[in-house]
Structure 1
Amino acid sequence: MLNSKLTDSQQDVWLYANQITSRLEYVSRFVFETVLNCKLRLIDELQITNPTFLKTHFIINYSERFIENTFHIIPHGLLSMSGSYDFRLLKSQSAYGTLVIGTQKKPADLFSAIFYFISRAEEWQNRFRDMHDRFCKDSVFSDEFDFTEPYVDQWIEELRVKLNHTNTHFKIAKPEFKCTYTFDIDNGFAFLGKPLWKNVLALLKDVVQFNFLFVKHRINTLKGNTADPFDQYENIIQHILKYKLHTIFFFLVNRNVKYDRGANLNSKVYANLFNRIRQSNITSGLHPSYTSFETSNQIENERTMLETHLAKSIDISRQHFLKFNIRNTPNALLRAGITEDWSMGFSDILGFRARTTHAFLYFNFDTEQMEPICLKPFSIMDGVFYIHQGVSVLKAKEYVEKHKNLIRKSGGNFVMVFHERIFSELHHPGFSKFFFEITETNSQV
């Protein structure tokens, strides 16, 4: 969830604007409460004209007028508008880029630039989608900010340093760097937990394709002579507990349709897995099926099914195949009882889809209001390495370390996605120990 633990020791931030709009409140609460862990106070004209108040409080002045003893940010004007998401943010010589609205081009201010990214205005627009109808790496234009940097986090860190430098009595601590390792359990098991006819058909397919190593392993697994190649769960759980890693398991419950081909949740092997997850008190979430991304009833049915198997309430999720439509999926999830979604990322590149690593609330342009569902970004999915880039394990480790260091600089959140198949030496030689090797030190290092 968003940072909601306000304490007496937190720094008070007072924000003045001519007009407190829903857009301004949305982005300012993200910056100061979610990221910088401050107490945000929105103030009006009466307070800003009080000389005593000005002398005793540190105030951010988000207006065009100059007010002595305030930190001045001149607004672009975007946050005073409503009813439209048809605008673009271009890279330029200006610190936060140039906003294009219709034929007007004007340098963006800090809050407007951040609003552009966390509101996901670019996803609301009618842009290019990939074969699964997803917002993708080709959905932005070459003159716009790319996905290689957490620009929002970097801008907020620059603001924090400036604010601390401006007033010696005003000190905001740098956000704590955190790591979260998540697991999308799409199949559960490679061979076990599936009906005999499925294994027979798969066996015949392997024979036809001369995949005799798979034939041998499948037969030995079904005969009980060797472990299922995906069944590394006990080792994973022991490792998580040993190093106190913050982890989440997302379970796909739909099956027997294209793109949803999980094992039987009623099988003995799955029952054992669910029991072990419960015993370990590891956080679990739903992996809503491929076709569910706009259908709340389907998501709710799958959620209920998973809750039955885990004997616990579920209110977090990540969409299967990252099938996430910014216009409809958040509200479908909300209606189904989901309040936290972890789909904000890419499957084929390392990068920052929302240009931030911090969680943010969903902004609904149809109503011009923030909605009570939290969107949690991730920046690396395991398949980038062994499917899309085809790099070595050593190179993949270097990428992860470099990525962590980039996020650490601005006190961000490193979130990575794994699938059960990466733990199979049969399926992805060399990568079966990858998760263990990159997390052998403390989780926040």
Structure 2
Amino acid sequence: MHIIVFSPLLTPRIKYIFNFIFKDILKAEVEFTGNSVHFLQSEHVKISYSDNPLADELFFKSSPLLFSNKVEELKLKTISFSDYLVPFPVEASALSFDVFSASFFILSRYEEYLHKEKSDANFTARDSTQYKWKVLNRPIIDEWALLLKNMIKKKYPSFKFHEKTFQHQPTINFTLKPDIPSGFLPKTKFIFTSIFNKKQKFLSGVFDDLTGLGINPEEVITDLGYLEIKSQPVYFINFPTDDKNRFSFENSASFLKEKQIGLLSPCLPEKEKSGNLKREVLKLGKVQNSSINLRSQQLDFLKLPACYLHLLSAGITSDYSMGYSDEVGFRAGTCTPFNWYDLQLEKVTPINVKSYSISDTAIHYQNVNDATKTIKDFIDAVKLVDGHFYSSWQLKNLSENVKFKKWKAVFDEILKYAG
């Protein structure tokens, strides 16, 4: 027994969002049909999405958004629902709003496409409609999916959904130092050119080491090895600028051989982005000398759709960039991994997005107790819907250095809490 969905017109948008909610979140099989006779004769769980119901199925009145193939300014109306606002109000429907259009609008980052047409400024958490609707701090699409699940179980008590469990995976980023060449002349040339290369930030690294603020990535990552984490962290590597490709990382990266790694993608001008990404991907492959699952994370301002188009051109298919580095919240409205939908081409892409809701840079102004409570609240929200909790950390903040010790304490506490 599975779910059969009827709609008079089955667009890519409809298939995408119904598959995400019912297959990815709720773990149920879905069949689509535009044939009303086949739908009415089916003995499966019936859901229709159209202007009017066909019989006594679960009927959800549709809005125009999912039948369109354009990105255009929308005059969004909202109504109160529980303790927050929802868009796309409808009447004579199983819910008082079009939950599928609302989910697609948030998940596709529709408003960010509109934003880039109107402004060159970066899109911030406070620009988002989720912030205005008071749902930014909730995995709202997963909550709506749970609501749909309960509605289905009430109408079709014998229908069984597959079980899923809460998962937790931290991401940790740092800059990998290059191997310093052996021999007096090569070593001298390396240090001299690095110091006078402004892009290199070599002097700041030396200063950190001299003042005791620097960290040894290998030592910190080794120390983290004692932690019991069901899903091991992904370590995102930033490579120092190397215009002449003279750096080697073989010795420096030896401690990463058995780790999950990815590329910390820098924020660069658009004309430099694609070429630079491909060079960085090659470096990443050399770190483990193998064909690896290409992962990326960008913690500067994420610009859509350009950022993901560059990832596709570089062959990256797993991304952890969807979040706000300066504010907590579920940027895409979900705590379930999803494939990015390209609104320009109206198709699902191979990029699987894991959206982080917490970063250490977003809670740096809070004290230990407040920061810990904030994170626990987010973990509770994700556990409620059996989702994936992703968080983003700088490696230096997880060291024993006295300057960063409070963040190490927060990190340790949330690992225990998340399990």
1:401-438 deviations in Å (ceiling 9; x for gaps):
11101111122211011111102424424223432332
1:250 aligned residue: 236
Q: Pick from 294, 315, 330 the counterpart of residue 337 of structure 1.
A: 315
Offset at residue 97 of structure 1 (A): 2.1
Give the secondary structure class of the aligned counterpart of 1:158.
helix
Is residue 60–residue 71 contact of structure 1 (8 Å, CA) maintained in 2?
yes
Give the secondary structure class of the aligned counterpart of 1:176.
coil
Q: Which amino acid aligns with 2:355?
A: P
Q: Which amino acid aligns with 1:253?
A: F
Cα distance between partner residues in 2 of 1:47 and 1:97:
33
Cα distance between partner residues in 2 of 1:200 and 1:32:
50
Q: Which amino acid aligns with 1:283?
A: Q
**Alignment CA distance shift 1:293-1:47 (3 Å):** farther
1:123 aligned residue: 112
Cα distance between partner residues in 2 of 1:319 and 1:204:
26
Is residue 218–residue 255 contact of structure 2 (8 Å, CA) maintained in 1?
no
Q: Pick from 256, 265, 268 the counterpart of residue 277 of structure 1.
A: 256
Q: Tell whether 2:318 aligns with 1:347.
A: no
Q: Pick from 89, 97, 107 the counterpart of residue 86 of structure 2.
A: 97
Gaps of at least 5 residues in structure 2 are 90-95, 182-186, 196-200
Is residue 421–residue 427 contact of structure 1 (8 Å, CA) maintained in 2?
no
Q: Pick from 428, 432, 437 the counterpart of residue 404 of structure 2.
A: 428
Cα distance between partner residues in 2 of 1:120 and 1:73:
23
Is residue 288–residue 317 contact of structure 1 (8 Å, CA) maintained in 2?
no
Q: Pick from 211, 224, 240 the counterpart of residue 236 of structure 1.
A: 224
Offset at residue 144 of structure 1 (A): 4.1
Offset at residue 233 of structure 1 (A): 1.3
Is residue 286–residue 314 contact of structure 1 (8 Å, CA) maintained in 2?
no
1:211 aligned residue: none
2:68 aligned residue: 81
**Alignment CA distance shift 1:234-1:88 (3 Å):** farther
Is residue 78–residue 112 contact of structure 1 (8 Å, CA) maintained in 2?
yes
1:312 aligned residue: 290
Cα distance between partner residues in 2 of 1:154 and 1:422:
32
**Alignment CA distance shift 1:253-1:47 (3 Å):** farther
Q: Tell whether 2:45 aligns with 1:41.
A: no
1:323-380 deviations in Å (ceiling 9; x for gaps):
4221222121111111111100011111111111112222222222222212221100
How does the TM-score come out when normalised to structure 2?
0.82
Q: Which amino acid aligns with 1:285?
A: G
Q: Pick from 347, 356, 359 the counterpart of residue 381 of structure 1.
A: 359
Offset at residue 238 of structure 1 (A): 3.5
Q: Tell whether 2:346 aligns with 1:358.
A: no
Is residue 4–residue 32 contact of structure 2 (8 Å, CA) maintained in 1?
yes
1:120-168 deviations in Å (ceiling 9; x for gaps):
101111269999x532123236744551222111111111111111111
- Could you tell me the percent identity over the aligned residues? 20
Q: Pick from 159, 168, 172 the counterpart of residue 157 of structure 2.
A: 168
Q: Pick from 139, 142, 149 the counterpart of residue 153 of structure 1.
A: 142
Cα distance between partner residues in 2 of 1:216 and 1:339:
40
Alignment: residue pair count = 392
Q: Which amino acid aligns with 1:152?
A: I
Q: Which amino acid aligns with 1:320?
A: Q
CA RMSD of aligned residues (A): 3.4
1:270-328 deviations in Å (ceiling 9; x for gaps):
725x32322x3x32111122217673222111101110122122443334333422122
1:291 aligned residue: 268
Is residue 6–residue 39 contact of structure 2 (8 Å, CA) maintained in 1?
no
Give the secondary structure class of the aligned counterpart of 2:123.
coil
Q: Tell whether 2:17 aligns with 1:27.
A: yes
**Alignment CA distance shift 1:395-1:84 (3 Å):** closer
Is residue 382–residue 388 contact of structure 2 (8 Å, CA) maintained in 1?
yes
Is residue 150–residue 357 contact of structure 1 (8 Å, CA) maintained in 2?
yes
Cα distance between partner residues in 2 of 1:285 and 1:366:
27
Cα distance between partner residues in 2 of 1:178 and 1:59:
31
Cα distance between partner residues in 2 of 1:437 and 1:392:
14
1:325 aligned residue: 303
Q: Tell whether 2:388 aligns with 1:413.
A: yes
1:266 aligned residue: 248
2:93 aligned residue: none
**Alignment CA distance shift 1:333-1:204 (3 Å):** closer
Offset at residue 235 of structure 1 (A): 1.0
Offset at residue 47 of structure 1 (A): 4.3
1:178-225 deviations in Å (ceiling 9; x for gaps):
11111122x2469x999656499449978xxxxxxx74537xx8xxxx
Give the secondary structure class of the aligned counterpart of 2:299.
helix
Q: Pick from 403, 417, 421 the counterpart of residue 378 of structure 2.
A: 403
Is residue 289–residue 320 contact of structure 1 (8 Å, CA) maintained in 2?
yes
